[in-house]
Amino acid sequence: MISKVLIIGLDGATFDIIKPWIEKGELPTLKNLMKEGVHGDLRSTIPPLTPPAWTSLVTGKNPGKHNIFDFFKLNRNNYDRAIVTSLDKKSESLWNILNKENIKTGILNLPFTYPPEKINGFIVCGSEAISIKSDFTYPKDLRKELLEKIKGYRQGLNWSYINREDHDNFIKDLNIVTEKLEETSCYLIKRYKPGFFMVVFDDLDRLQHFFWRHMDEKHPMYDKKESKRYKDAILNYYKKLDLVINNLIKLTDKNTLIMIVSDHGFGPTYKEIYINYYLKNLNLLRLKKEKKLQKSLLKKIGITKENLIYLSNSYKLNKLIRNIPYKLKVFLNSNINSSKLNDSNIDWSGTKAYFFSHSGRGIMINLKKRQINGTVNEGKEYDVIRDLIINELKKIKDNTTGKKLIKNISKREEIYKGPYKGNSPDLIVEMEEGYIAQEGIGKEPIMPSKQGSAYKSADHRMNGIFIAKGPNIIKNKKIRNANILDITPTLLYLLNIPIPRDMDGRILKEIISDYNLKKLKYAKPYNSEEIKISSAVKSIDY
Amino acid sequence: MLDSNITTISIPKVLADKIKKRMEGTGFNSVSSYVVYILRQVISNIEKDGKEDNKREAFSEKDEENVKKRLKSLGYL
CA distance to partner chain B, nearest, from residue A173 (Å): 15
Residues pairing with A436 in the sheet: A272
Flag if A536 and B42 touch (Cβ within 8 Å): yes
* A473 in any annotated domain: no
Residue in chain B nearest A205 by alpha carbon: B74
| 3-class secondary structure, B43 | helix
- Whether residue A279 contacts residue A353, with contact meaning beta carbons closer than 8 Å, is answered with yes
Q: Is the peptide bond before A139 cis (omega within 30 degrees of 0)?
A: yes
* A350 in any annotated domain: yes
Please give the average per-residue pLDDT across A235-247, as a whole number.
98
- Please report the ipTM that was assigned to this predicted complex: 0.72
Of A71, A87, A115, the CB nearest to B71: A71
A78 pLDDT tier (thresholds 50, 70, 90): confident
Contact residues, chain B to chain A, C-beta under 8 Å: 41-43, 45-46, 48-50, 53, 56-59, 63-64, 66-76
| One-letter-per-residue 3-state SS of A77-112 | CCCCEEECCHHHCCCCCHHHHHHHCCCCEEEECCCC
CA distance to partner chain A, nearest, from residue B27 (Å): 16
B63 pLDDT tier (thresholds 50, 70, 90): confident
Percent of chain A at pLDDT exceeding 90: 74
Q: Report how far residue A504's alpha carbon sits from residue A489's, in angstroms, rounded to the nearest whole number.
A: 9
Q: Using the predicted structure, report yes or no on whether residue A313 has a pLDDT greater than 50.
A: no
- Whether residue A471 contacts residue A281, with contact meaning beta carbons closer than 8 Å, is answered with no
* A405 in any annotated domain: yes
Q: Report how far residue A406's alpha carbon sits from residue A363's, in angstroms, rounded to the nearest whole number.
A: 13
Using a CB-CB cut-off of 8 Å, the residues of chain B touching A452 are 75
* A87 in any annotated domain: no
Q: Note whether A288 and A217 are same-domain residues.
A: no
* A462 in any annotated domain: no
Q: Note whether A246 and A319 are same-domain residues.
A: no
Q: Using the predicted structure, report yes or no on whether residue A314 has a pLDDT greater than 50.
A: no
Residue in chain B nearest A165 by alpha carbon: B73
Q: Note whether A201 and A232 are same-domain residues.
A: yes
A297 pLDDT tier (thresholds 50, 70, 90): low
Q: Note whether A245 and A276 are same-domain residues.
A: no
Residue in chain A nearest B49 by alpha carbon: A536
CA distance to partner chain B, nearest, from residue A68 (Å): 15
Give residue A506's region: left, alpha or beta (phi > 0; psi -120 to 50). beta
- Residue-range definition of the domain harbouring residue A25: 4-43+92-252
Q: Report how far residue A162's alpha carbon sits from residue A157's, in angstroms, rounded to the nearest whole number.
A: 9
In A341-473 the beta strands, taken as DSSP E runs, fall at: 353-357, 362-365, 406-411, 427-431, 435-438, 446-448, 458-461, 463-469
Q: Note whether A110 and A241 are same-domain residues.
A: yes
Q: Report how far residue A166's alpha carbon sits from residue A161's, in angstroms, rounded to the nearest whole number.
A: 5
Q: Note whether A247 and A284 are same-domain residues.
A: no
Q: Note whether A357 and A224 are same-domain residues.
A: no
Per-residue pLDDT reduced to its tens digit, A104-144: 999 999 999 999 999 999 999 998 888 889 999 999 999 99
Please give the average per-residue pLDDT across A208-223, as a whole number.
93
Q: Using the predicted structure, report yes or no on whether residue A406 has a pLDDT greater than 70.
A: yes
Work out how many domains chain A is built from and give that number.
2
Q: Report how far residue A214's alpha carbon sits from residue A205's, in angstroms, rounded to the nearest whole number.
A: 15
Q: Note whether A302 and A451 are same-domain residues.
A: yes
Percent of chain B at pLDDT exceeding 70: 91
Per-residue pLDDT reduced to its tens digit, A457-497: 999 999 999 999 999 999 999 999 999 999 999 999 999 99
User: How many Cα atoms occupy the beta-carbon half-sphere of A202 within 13 Å?
Assistant: 21
Per-residue pLDDT reduced to its tens digit, B8-31: 999 999 999 999 999 988 989 899
Structure confidence at residue A455 (pLDDT): 72
Residue A396 CB contacts under 8 Å (≥ 6 apart), including other chains: A273, A278, A404, A405, A406, A445
Element (H, E) at A30: helix A28-36
Per-residue pLDDT reduced to its tens digit, A316-353: 455 555 555 544 544 444 433 334 455 568 899 999 99
* A407 in any annotated domain: yes
Q: Note whether A26 and A154 are same-domain residues.
A: yes
Structure confidence at residue A307 (pLDDT): 54
* A309 in any annotated domain: yes
| Domain limit, last residue, from A427, A457, A487 | A457
A454 pLDDT tier (thresholds 50, 70, 90): low
* A59 in any annotated domain: no
User: How many Cα atoms occupy the beta-carbon half-sphere of A285 within 13 Å?
Assistant: 23
User: How many Cα atoms occupy the beta-carbon half-sphere of A238 within 13 Å?
Assistant: 25
